[in-house]
Structure 1
Amino acid sequence: MTAIHRTPSRGLASLLVPLLIGGLVVLALGVYGRAHTPTGHAVGVAGFSGALPMKAWLTTGAFVLAFVQVVSALSMWGRLGIAIPPAVHRWSGRLAFLLTIPVAFHCLYALGLQYDVPRVLAHSLLGCFFYGVFTAKMLALPKRDTPDWTLPVLGGLAFTALVGLWLTSSFWFFTAVGVKV
């Protein structure tokens, strides 16, 4: 398998729309999270004892798949010396994203953006940032005139945000409450 190489950049102009839309996603989620009156009711906890275990386990699944994303991306870019099929990267990313949807929906619908506890504030902001940077990455992906660093940087930021989300939610839950299903 050969490494992926993008054409030489015509500048940062091709990133303007993806970054602008990603920024709007961050802002929209933050504004909605603050303006919406949280219901306090858990939604969609099928198979779990409650909302917190559901969120902890789904986020943990996305967290594990984020590492698959990093390894498969390194392989696609020719950095590992082994060939991992690009489909592994695509499908692990899709599945990781799908695992985050019920978690984000519950967070926004039932809890809103909270700022009274530093861990929860960091978690709320990271959640907004994750979806914004993910949006920017997906919109930049088909563009062939972006700088070579575009996908690694946006992917790295999405990975970092997801790790931060896991640390401020699942890791906290498993260490403070215990491992529950």
Structure 2
Amino acid sequence: MTRPTGLRAAGAHAAGVRARSGGAGAVLVAAAAGSLVAVGLGAYGRWHEPAAAAVNVAGFSSGVAAKAWLGTIAFVLALGQLWSAAALHGRVGRRWRAAGPPLWVGAVHRWSGRAAVLVTVPVAVHCLYALGFQDGSPRVLLHSLAGCFVYGAFVTKMLVLQRPRSPGWSLPLLGGALFTAVTAVWLSSSLWFFSTSGLST
């Protein structure tokens, strides 16, 4: 009786090792795809001749002002992502730690992420088409790099989400990297714009 039990345990261990290695491999593939997206955006921004103007969003005086405010909205939504992710992992809400967070927290996490990506689309179009990848100052270089990294990290995270056997550390790591990049984009663009031009639209 001990031999079959031992064989079952060994088989379960081997299956677990294969699942973990397969999950790690999926993360590497997703990271490679995300890296290609980030590098591709950077290459396009570098080699594309900046048009100096892009389609303005209604209600804003300029593309730069629209970019600053939409970037701020995306940052606020990213803060919502951070809070809801912490709640889903039991890091906030003492009453939720035993029974788990309510269903609406998961909905907030999903929809705040979708809305944040949607809001950044006009910003990305303006940056790539009108301004291009620039490195005239440390702030501008940080903004260009972080902007490309945002979409690379987003693609990586979305691909990892499609793999249910991905390592447990992968999504928190990718989510944290994505939030850090969004914060860097906001600090190097929107906050700078508001500090130099005021809260104008």
Q: Which TM-score tier does this pair reach, normalised by the shorter chain?
A: over 0.9
> What is the TM-score normalised by the length of structure 2?
0.83
- Any unmatched runs of 5+ in structure 1? 1-6
How far the C-alpha of 1:180 sits from its partner, in A, is 0.3
C-alpha distance in 2 between matches for 1:142 and 1:75:
22
C-alpha distance in 1 between matches for 2:48 and 2:162:
34
Task: Work out which of the residue numbers 50, 64, 71 in structure 1 matches 2:62.
Answer: 50
C-alpha distance in 2 between matches for 1:175 and 1:16:
40
- Any unmatched runs of 5+ in structure 2? 1-15
C-alpha distance in 1 between matches for 2:27 and 2:171:
11
How far the C-alpha of 1:168 sits from its partner, in A, is 0.2
How far the C-alpha of 1:66 sits from its partner, in A, is 0.6
- Checking the alignment, whether the CA contact within 8 Å between 1:115 and 1:121 is kept in structure 2 is yes
Q: Deviations over 1:25-47 (max 9, x none)?
A: 01100100001111111313211
Aligned to 2:194: 174
* Letter matched to residue 63 of structure 1: F
- Checking the alignment, whether the CA contact within 8 Å between 1:38 and 1:109 is kept in structure 2 is yes
Aligned to 2:126: 106
What is the identity percentage for the equivalent residue pairs of Structure 1 and Structure 2?
53
- Checking the alignment, whether the CA contact within 8 Å between 2:20 and 2:166 is kept in structure 1 is yes
Q: Secondary structure at the match of 1:10?
A: helix
CA RMSD of aligned residues (A): 1.4
* Letter matched to residue 60 of structure 2: F
* Letter matched to residue 10 of structure 1: R
- Checking the alignment, whether the CA contact within 8 Å between 1:122 and 1:168 is kept in structure 2 is yes
Aligned to 2:183: 163
Aligned to 2:112: 92
Instruction: Give 1:98-137 correspondences, 5 Å limit.
Output: 98-137=118-157
Aligned to 1:80: 92
> What is the TM-score normalised by the length of structure 1?
0.92
How far the C-alpha of 1:77 sits from its partner, in A, is 1.8
- Checking the alignment, whether the CA contact within 8 Å between 1:42 and 1:50 is kept in structure 2 is no
Q: Deviations over 1:79-111 (max 9, x none)?
A: 223325211100000001111100000000001
* Letter matched to residue 163 of structure 1: T
